[in-house]
């Protein structure tokens, strides 16, 4: 490759944006896709002055979650409420911002050769940040809120959980994935990093679009010497519409064209490594319906140095080759 071509390719690859991955900041268009609109400054002005209430899900340890989020959240005042104590109506007041889990499956009916089948085609498990821009009180005290949906933090449904929701589910076929959690990255280490991203994005008044390509070349070159960690579950290949396990790749084949050091850990071990305070970079695949967001995240700061989105359900060797090529560009 001659010098001029190399410079052109380098310019195409490099993007100095370091806030992506599992976090979206923008006016939500639909709960089942990634499409968002810009946030007008007047809404940021309003959001700056609100009080945030973080609803801690029952599946997370309350005190541990409170400490993790309190340590990384500097955007505005934040209070914590256990999910069992959360009453939406009580907090439905102008000037309140709520961060809560949105958990819903969206079904559609497919017609195949005259037979109609209902399937869970879309799934949304995410923290959503909403703010009550205004709340009118109607007759008999009924509240009519004007709700701003401004940010989301997405989580990846495990293969077992995805398959378990389908009509074709059977225990025998699910045996190899029956020990999986419901979500691969719904653990406090990952959550810490995601809320670092969200907090900085709000502080910077920045729209974060998960479909944007991100490569921070100044940090990617560090992976020439550093080990890239990755969760072992990325080796599992899922059938798109059924959620069934198709096969399990061999690490050496998936990473065949990745020319630098890497190490695979269980999702649990990787989470614990983040919580331990170790400074490293890790690969994360966030699956949101038909979207695959592949990112590289710093474990201490939550900084994202690489992010790439495409319509897919599985990581392949080409994805790792692209990352390797991005590292090699200097």
Q: Can you list the alpha helix ranges (DSSP code H) found in 17-172?
A: 41-48, 62-72, 159-164
User: Residue 4's pLDDT is what?
Assistant: 41
User: Residue 16's pLDDT is what?
Assistant: 39
Query: How are the residues of the chain apportioned to helix, strand and coil, as percentages rounded to the nearest 5?
Result: 30, 35, 35
Question: CA separation (Å) from 31 to 5, 24, 247, 267, 327?
Answer: 42, 12, 30, 26, 34
| pLDDT tens-digit readout, 55-83 | 999 999 999 999 999 999 999 999 999 99
* Backbone phi and psi for residue 55, each to the nearest 5 degrees, phi listed first: -90, 110
User: Residue 214's pLDDT is what?
Assistant: 86
Spatial distance between the Cα atoms of 241 and 52, rounded to a whole number of angstroms:
38
H-helix or E-strand containing 294? strand 291-298
User: Residue 115's pLDDT is what?
Assistant: 63
Residue segments in the chain with a per-residue pLDDT below the cut of 70: 1-22, 29-36, 104-123, 167-169, 173, 241, 330
User: Residue 323's pLDDT is what?
Assistant: 95
pTM: 0.86
Q: Can you read off the two tokens belonging to residue 120?
A: 């869970």
């Amino acid at each position: 490759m001659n010098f001029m071509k190399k410079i052109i390719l380098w310019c195409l690859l490099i993007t100095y944006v370091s806030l992506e991955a599992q976090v979206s900041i923008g006016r939500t268009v639909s709960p089942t896709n990634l499409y968002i609109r810009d946030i007008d400054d007047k809404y940021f002005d309003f959001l700056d002055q609100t009080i945030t209430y973080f609803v801690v899900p029952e599946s997370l340890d309350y005190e541990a979650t409170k400490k993790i989020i309190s340590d990384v959240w500097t955007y505005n005042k934040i209070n914590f409420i256990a999910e069992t104590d959360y009453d939406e109506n009580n907090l439905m007041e102008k000037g309140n911002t709520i961060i809560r889990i949105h958990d819903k499956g969206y079904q559609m009916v497919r017609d195949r050769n005259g037979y109609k089948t209902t399937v869970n085609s879309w799934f949304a498990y995410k923290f959503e940040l909403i703010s009550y821009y205004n709340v009118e009180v109607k007759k008999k005290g009924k509240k009519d809120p004007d709700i701003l949906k401004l940010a989301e933090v997405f989580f990846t449904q495990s293969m077992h959980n995805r398959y378990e929701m389908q009509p074709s589910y059977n225990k025998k076929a699910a045996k190899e994935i029956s020990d999986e959690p419901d979500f691969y990255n719904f653990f406090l280490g990952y959550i810490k990093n995601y809320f670092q991203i969200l907090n900085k994005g709000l502080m910077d008044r920045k729209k974060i679009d998960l479909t944007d390509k991100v490569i921070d070349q100044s940090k990617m070159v560090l992976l020439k010497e550093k080990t890239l960690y990755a969760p072992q579950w990325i080796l599992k290949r899922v059938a798109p519409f059924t959620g069934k396990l198709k096969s399990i790749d061999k690490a050496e084949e998936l990473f065949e064209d990745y020319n630098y050091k890497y190490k695979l850990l269980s999702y649990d071990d990787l989470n614990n490594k983040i919580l331990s305070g170790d400074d490293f970079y890790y690969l994360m695949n966030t699956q949101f319906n038909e979207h695959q967001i592949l990112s590289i995240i710093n474990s201490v700061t939550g900084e994202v140095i690489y992010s790439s989105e495409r319509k897919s359900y599985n990581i392949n060797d080409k994805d790792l080759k692209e990352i390797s090529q991005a590292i090699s560009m200097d």
